[in-house]
A and B are shown apart, each in its own frame.
Chain A
């Protein structure tokens, strides 16, 4: 059983940080949240994550763990008395990891591409790819959930956390672009899942409000930087 000091270096708007917050909530772990200011990096962050210099960083008993999905798995490995985050079956675990990697390496970069896209043609092409990706994830949901509420089954799990953390950024993009990416027509199961996910006890106080993300997005656009990366 884990004892000891838990600190999380992060920022409330970062989907990667939200992943860790959700995982800590699932396990009912108390932690100190050390909020980084947008646009600057604290000494503690630079010292705790010298390799990537990025949030989130979990500091447990003075030992840092970096990279959001590495942290989520660490939390699952340490706090074993709480609900499990990764599936127990090795094959299901591999599938959850596969789709989480897909979200991180293939799907979310398309969102960043859309934010930077110039011109109607480029935007339209990227939107098409994003929606195609969501359809792929819809199919994955049907297979993974096996008729239950979440990718993880009856309760939220690794893949729910990995993908769900992007939902408000997705929503922000839809509002800013005045279009729909996650639609009932093409991804009905995901639409329902998204609602359930955002209402979950471990999630509802974590995900930032879409309005807040719109504000942040506008600031970042003004600074001509890409929105937070892991």
Chain B
């Protein structure tokens, strides 16, 4: 094999995208291994026995799991370019807080939109939009969450942009109508090669979601 850096992920996973963006930001060469999630590879099960989840970064044979932990690891090892976390402790703490907020809120709220119908779905949409509005509020007029440069919170959140079309189609709503500033931010991020190369086409994500729903027996 001989690859110093290996990433186990799945092309539609927002969490895998975070790792890919960070690796691309730092210009790190790595081997990408796509996991078929219903049939997890022996390598994945060996490298992440506790959670059996992607992404897993394998650096010199040693596994690092959990997407935001991977992103911080990448930032701490490859220090020569594109700093991801701010160097000042207070902005660092705010970056960690907001990335944690994205983790706690956005995935579950989004998931509820495509796994529910009727009143439950309406509540899920409301919750999802509310969380995006909170994020929009903290972004303010800054180009990126960290200020002038693309960083940790941007990396935490931007992968979800590739899922917006899927959520919108399932839930019959528009993120842009509710959170126009956030969409402007997302488009700004998409201009970066590290982001555009790491995010799948939203229509492909929607196709994947339809297959997933079939497999899970969800209408």
The answer to whether A and B come from one shared complex is: yes
B216 within 8 A of A: no
Say yes or no: B93 contacts A97, CB within 8 Å.
no
User: Would A70 and B96 be within 8 Å (CB), given that A90-B77, A91-B73 are in contact?
Assistant: yes
Enumerate chain B interface residues (CB-CB to A < 8 A). Answer: 50, 59, 62, 64-66, 69-70, 72-73, 76-77, 89-90, 92-94, 96-97, 100-101, 134
Query: Which residues of B sit under 8 angstroms from A91, Cβ to Cβ?
Result: 59, 62, 64, 73
Say yes or no: A101 contacts B66, CB within 8 Å.
yes
How far apart are the CA atoms of A74 and B93 in the complex, in Å?
6
Say yes or no: B93 contacts A71, CB within 8 Å.
yes
Say yes or no: A51 contacts B134, CB within 8 Å.
yes
Min CB gap A85→B, angstroms: 13
Q: Select which of B69, B76, B92, B100 is within 8 A of A74 by beta carbon.
A: B92
Considering the complex of A and B, which 5 residue pairs feature the smallest CB-CB distances, nearest first? A77-B89, A90-B76, A74-B93, A94-B73, A70-B96
How far apart are the CA atoms of A78 and B92 in the complex, in Å?
11
How far apart are the CA atoms of A93 and B90 in the complex, in Å?
20
User: Would A94 and B93 be within 8 Å (CB), given that A101-B69, A102-B50, A136-B50 are in contact?
Assistant: no
Chain A 55-87 near chain B by CB (<8 Å), digits 1 or 0? 000001001011100110110011000000000
Say yes or no: A51 contacts B101, CB within 8 Å.
yes
Say yes or no: B134 contacts A90, CB within 8 Å.
no
Say yes or no: A93 contacts B73, CB within 8 Å.
yes
Say yes or no: B50 contacts A97, CB within 8 Å.
no
How far apart are the CA atoms of A225 and B50 in the complex, in Å?
30
Query: Which residues of A sit under 8 angstroms from B72, Cβ to Cβ?
Result: 93-94, 97
Min CB gap A177→B, angstroms: 26
| Chain A interface helix/strand/loop/mixed | helix
User: Would A63 and B73 be within 8 Å (CB), given that A51-B101, A98-B65, A136-B50 are in contact?
Assistant: no
Q: Select which of A65, A78, A94 is within 8 A of B69 by beta carbon.
A: A94
Query: Which residues of B sit under 8 angstroms from A51, Cβ to Cβ?
Result: 101, 134
Min CB gap B136→A, angstroms: 13
User: Would A65 and B73 be within 8 Å (CB), given that A91-B62, A94-B64, A98-B65 are in contact?
Assistant: no
For the A-B complex, the count of residue pairs with Cβ-Cβ distances under 8 Å equals 54
Query: Which residues of B sit under 8 angstroms from A98, Cβ to Cβ?
Result: 64-66, 69
| Interface residues of A, count at CB 8 A | 21
What residue of chain B has the Cβ atom nearest to residue A95's Cβ?
B64
Say yes or no: A74 contacts B89, CB within 8 Å.
yes
How far apart are the CA atoms of A98 and B134 in the complex, in Å?
27
Min CB gap B59→A, angstroms: 8
Min CB gap B133→A, angstroms: 12
What residue of chain B has the Cβ atom nearest to residue A140's Cβ?
B50
Say yes or no: A97 contacts B100, CB within 8 Å.
no
13 pairs of residues in contact across A and B, judged by CB atoms under 8 Å: A65-B94, A67-B96, A70-B93, A70-B97, A71-B93, A77-B89, A77-B92, A78-B89, A90-B73, A90-B77, A91-B59, A91-B64, A94-B72
Say yes or no: B66 contacts A97, CB within 8 Å.
yes
Say yes or no: A67 contacts B92, CB within 8 Å.
no
Query: Which residues of A sit under 8 angstroms from B76, Cβ to Cβ?
Result: 90, 93
Say yes or no: B73 contacts A73, CB within 8 Å.
no
Min CB gap B161→A, angstroms: 22
Say yes or no: A97 contacts B69, CB within 8 Å.
yes
Min CB gap A9→B, angstroms: 15
Query: Which residues of A sit under 8 angstroms from B77, Cβ to Cβ?
Result: 90
Say yes or no: A65 contacts B97, CB within 8 Å.
yes
Min CB gap B3→A, angstroms: 17
How far apart are the CA atoms of A73 and B93 in the complex, in Å?
8
How far apart are the CA atoms of A74 and B86 in the complex, in Å?
12
How far apart are the CA atoms of A4 and B69 in the complex, in Å?
31
Q: Select which of B59, B64, B97, B134 is within 8 A of A67 by beta carbon.
A: B97
Query: Which residues of A sit under 8 angstroms from B92, Cβ to Cβ?
Result: 73-74, 77
What residue of chain A has the Cβ atom nearest to residue B70's Cβ?
A94
What residue of chain A has the Cβ atom nearest to residue B64's Cβ?
A94
How far apart are the CA atoms of A179 and B70 in the complex, in Å?
38
Query: Which residues of B sit under 8 angstroms from A101, Cβ to Cβ?
Result: 66, 69
What residue of chain A has the Cβ atom nearest to residue B89's Cβ?
A77
Min CB gap B139→A, angstroms: 14
